Structure formats: structure tokens, C-alpha cells
Amino acid sequence: MRILGIDCGSRFTGYGLIDSDGTRHRLVEAGVIETRPSDPLAERIFQVGARLREIIAEHRPEEAAIEDTFISINARSALKLTHVRGAAFFICAEAGVPVAEYPPAQVKLALAGSGRAEKEQVQRMTRVLLGLPEPISSLDASDAVAVAICHATRRPVSATR
């Protein structure tokens, strides 16, 4: 099954595509959609949505997983993040790709064994689980791959084909 993982951000949105049978995972592609903070928020959301649309059209994921909003001290940043998540949900729904959501602590627990793992620990575990010679270069991209792996290992049995 091909799974698209998305780690939304108003400046950097990570994405990662894996092929998985639920226990073995293979990296297809990972990257970051970067927007300029000087651009209006509407333009940044459009850029993220347009790029996700291209990724979905090219790679045809069967399912997607998006990390829940991390509620931080900065409410303004959390609101921007929520707008980007909305665009990601819209693009997936438009393409007919079912979407699951996972809290950050659940993603960290699934990959690193601790819901409080640091981003670098998650990055190392994505490398190990995928058998990569080097870690994924971006923390945002490795987080997105981690969301995809979390979904592959925790998706409901009724959703399997």
C-alpha cells in the first residue's frame, strides 16, 4: 500500500511517501514544501495545496495520514498550521484519498517508543526502519515519513485490503 504522510507547517510542510505491507516499509519520496514567510498566508496555503496536488497526481497514494496540530504556546502559529492542515485535507479529499490523523505523541511513540521523543530520535528511527544509508535530510520530511509509518502500522484492520 502506498501511503502519503504529511507534517503541516505554514513555512515548511514535510511530505513522505512509503510503500508498506504493514511491517516492511520502503521510502518512495520525501521532501519539504517551503513557502516564504513574506508571502500572504492565502498564497502560502495555495502553494502547499498546489504542490500536494502534484505529489498525489504523480505518486497516487492509496491513503494519507496527517499529523494533528501541536498546541504550542503561540496560538497564532497554531492557527496558521490549522489552515495548512485544512488545505491538505481538502487536496486529499479532492483526490479521493482517505485521510487519518495522528497526534504527535502517538507518532513518536510508534517510531521511537516514547511519546516525548525528540525530532532527531524520530529522524534516526525513520532511517533504521526504512534501511536507509543516511537519515532523511530534513526534520520536517522525516516527521512526515514517520506519520506515514505510524499509519502503516496502526491503521484499523477493517481498512486493510
Catalytic site positions = 7, 67, 140
Name the packing angle between helices 139-154 and 104-112 (round to 10°): 80
Asked if residue 141 lies in contact with residue 32, where contact means CB atoms within 8 angstroms, the answer is yes
Overall residue count recorded for the chain in this entry:
161
Task: State how far the Cα of 13 lies from the Cα of 32, in Å rounded to an integer.
Answer: 6
The gap between the terminal CA atoms of the chain, to the nearest Å, is: 9
Q: In angstroms, rounded to a whole number, what is the distance separating the alpha carbons of residues 102 and 96?
A: 19
Cell 537519515 belongs to 135
Q: How many CB atoms lie within 10 A of CB 74?
A: 10
Q: How far is CA 53 from the centre of its chain?
A: 14
